[in-house]
Amino acid sequence: MSGGRTSTEGCSDAAVSESRRALTVELAVEFDADARGCPIAVDCDASAPVEHHVIDDTCHVSCPSSEDGTAVRHRRVHVDGECVCRIVASHGCCPSLQAAADGGLIVRTNPADRATLRAMIEELRGVADAVRIRSLVVDDGETATRSELVSLQALTEIERETVERAILEGYYDRPRTVSFDDLATDLGITSSALSKRLASAESKIMRNLFEDRD
């Protein structure tokens, strides 16, 4: 997926780079009524992954048009300026559209690190009305299967915003890249209020983790 012409002509080992990605994030990206930041959000209504490619300035989209998915509706839409997929790709990530409905998208991707995720979300907010972290999977690398899923869907809006900021600022990194007091200052709340918000949110997240494992 790329904002430019896609071709394998002239590829060589020297042109190929690989990196292990420990993060898998799902972002909920919402647009206003005309959804100028993404033609897919306007033209597609699907609860399943959407096939899409941007070649030069044209977005090619195949949306399911039947319940069993055997028929699709293919559209080609001119892309004027930046869009969600181009922005994600510009940060060295492959955008995978998991769903599109009601003027919004669910985008799954694998940023190289949290700093990349922070920069990506900040840029996405320039073309979307809202961008929220839906879930984050962190593979600790100790085993092939061990990972930690952080789902934010059970949180209130305030709790979600608080945990998102904590994740993006590096509060949960080891070592931390932002202190508790600095995080509270960034959010414009007291340390006591931050403590209560995080305690409530983290308890819900932990319950979600154990319920998923039962």
Burial 187-214 (b: 16+ CB within 10 A, else e): bebeeeebeebbeebbebbeebeeeeee
Q: Is the dihedral of CA 176, 181, 187, 190 positive or negative?
A: positive
Per-residue pLDDT reduced to its tens digit, 9-33: 555 555 666 777 888 999 989 887 6
Per-residue pLDDT reduced to its tens digit, 95-105: 998 888 777 88
Share of the chain above pLDDT 70, in %: 78
Is the peptide bond between 175 and the residue preceding it cis, with omega within 30 degrees of 0?
Answer: yes
Which residues is 147 bridged to in the sheet?
139
3-state secondary structure (DSSP) of residue 60: strand
For residue 113, give the nearest of 172, 198, 201 by alpha carbon: 172
Phi, psi of 35 (to 5 degrees): 50, 50
Domain with CATH 1.10.10 in the chain: 144-214
Per-residue pLDDT reduced to its tens digit, 144-158: 444 456 678 788 999
Share of the chain above pLDDT 90, in %: 23
Regarding pTM above 0.85, the answer is no
Structure-model confidence comparison of residues 13 and 176, the more confident one: 176
CATH entry 1.10.10 includes domain 144-214:
yes
For residue 31, give the nearest of 134, 124, 128 by alpha carbon: 128
The separation between the first and the last C-alpha atoms of the chain, rounded to the nearest angstrom, is 37
